[in-house]
Amino acid sequence: MSAPIKTAVLPVAGFGTRVLPATKTIPKEMLPVVDRPALQYVVDEALEAGIEHIVFITGRNKNAIEDYFDEAFELEEALARRNKTDIAAELKRLRPKEGTMSFVRQQSARGLGHAVWCARDIVGGQPFAVLLPDVIVKPLGPSEPGCLKQMMDAYVQTGGNIIAVDEVPERDVSKYGVIAPARNPGSPPDGPLIAMSGMVEKPAMEDAPSRYKITGRYILQPEVMDLLATQETGAGGEIQLTDAMARAMDAGSPFHAFAYRGDDYDCGSKLGYFEAVLAHALDHPEIGDGARALVDRVRG
């Protein structure tokens, strides 16, 4: 049986070039989705899944992230003095406990695989999760488990490596890592776990082995981290996590793809970010009614 997953790696060093100039001075992970930074949703998803330590892989100009997860003493004091105890309590509740977060600088932008490898000392030879904070995966309902929690439940049965996947239109496959299912790609899977025969990063549409994109949630065994140490550059001239996973699989490490329940939003793109804000506004306990009325008005 594979060891439990206690540590999650969240790479947050990217520039956010697709949403410039908004991200010129604000990390893209800190852009608000209704009333909290996009990153808070991803941290909440990790904690809900039982993660006990989060390793943020940061870069220059990302200090706002570390500050956000610190106590804001003056602010919380002032809120308490003004009897705004609800929001003060919410700020406290959302903060992971002291000593449960690490911040590691990725000194040069050499790709996702390199970013993950920067966490190797802290992960320390254990299996680990990776969550790409560009992507928010919204559960289908308020009492539905998040994507990583669903994967953790599957992991208890299967062990090994698990990659979250979702089907996308053919024209979009070249933007993502894509898995090759072990069975005919056309045949529907029996359940959420999909046996795999391989994977490839950003294939040309005609070479894509399926329409299952890799969404940005992973449970990985230590051999993937080990292989990242020697991973050569791949698609886009970057060190790719997908390539190291493919090598681990070729060397016999067990992999499953996992078709999760949830809606994913790519907050690193303008339209994806807008969709994330819209979807979360429509379901928000405080402004949901108002947001729905507004959408109805706009649609005339």
The contact set with ligand G1P (CB under 6 A) reads 112, 132, 134-135, 176-177, 201, 213-216, 240-242
Residue 168 CB contacts under 8 Å (≥ 6 apart), including other chains: 176, 211, 213
Residue 29 or 201 with smaller CB distance to ligand G1P = 201
Between the CA of residue 253 and those of 125, 144, 162, 220, 247, what are the distances in Å?
A: 15, 30, 11, 10, 9
Shortest separation between residue 81's beta carbon and ligand G1P, angstroms: 43
Residue 79 or 266 with smaller CB distance to ligand G1P = 266
Residue 95 or 213 with smaller CB distance to ligand G1P = 213
Residue 241 or 291 with smaller CB distance to ligand G1P = 241
Shortest separation between residue 11's beta carbon and ligand G1P, angstroms: 8
Shortest separation between residue 225's beta carbon and ligand G1P, angstroms: 16
Distance CA 125, CA 105 (A): 20
Residue 172 or 283 with smaller CB distance to ligand G1P = 172
Shortest separation between residue 224's beta carbon and ligand G1P, angstroms: 13
Q: Which residue is nearest to ligand G1P (CB)?
A: 177
Shortest separation between residue 217's beta carbon and ligand G1P, angstroms: 9
